Amino acid sequence: MNDNDRELERLMNDQLDGTATPEESERLSRALESREDVRSEYRKLGGVFAALSRIEMEEPPASLKQGVLRAIRAIEADAGARQSWLDSILALVRGRAGFRYAYSFATGAALGVLAFALLSGNLATRPGADSRAFTGTMAPLTGTHA
């Protein structure tokens, strides 16, 4: 379906809905006069509109509006009662004992690695160290003798 066909389909729907402007109605009339496929599609769409107009409208249950509003309020209340990220982590830690020990171990290991890195330093942070050999460049080192 190309853009022109989509536009014709929109014009047909607007015409059958009664919302087409006079210019749109004229464009649709010209297309209906010149193309059999458009006439066929318009007849089919008109049949659907006619069938839909014969259907009786059902009244929604009286409790529907209250139920929807109650659900919206519950969602809003739930959103307001959400835990912060810290509360979520603390709730995990306070959970089962196995998780508590695992989280404690992982936290201790991470802090230990961080402390070691900060206190011991590395070759790149020592004064006078040539860090060009491991800074990520593939360029040859200049001014050094291998």
Give 22-51 pLDDT, tens digit per residue: 999 999 999 999 999 999 999 999 999 999
Q: Which of 43, 41, 59, 40 is nearest to 51 (CA)?
A: 43
**20/127: higher pLDDT:** 20
Look up residue 114 and give its two tokens. 């961080």
Cβ(38)–Cβ(8) under 8 Å?
yes
Cβ(67)–Cβ(50) under 8 Å?
no
Half-sphere exposure of 57 (CA within 13 A, CB side): 3
Residue 125 has pLDDT above 70, yes or no: no
Give 13-22 pLDDT, tens digit per residue: 999 999 999 9
pLDDT for position 144 = 58
Give 72-89 pLDDT, tens digit per residue: 988 887 766 666 777 777
- What separation, in Å, do the N-terminal and C-terminal C-alpha atoms of the chain show? 69
Contacts by 61-65, CB closer than 8 A, 24 or more apart: none
pLDDT for position 102 = 81
Cβ(22)–Cβ(54) under 8 Å?
no
Look up residue 111 and give its two tokens. 């802090």
Give 132-145 pLDDT, tens digit per residue: 665 566 666 666 55
Q: How far is CA 63 from the centre of its chain?
A: 32
The total of other beta-carbon atoms located within 10 Å of residue 131's CB is 11
The total of other beta-carbon atoms located within 10 Å of residue 42's CB is 20
What is the pTM assigned to this prediction? 0.41
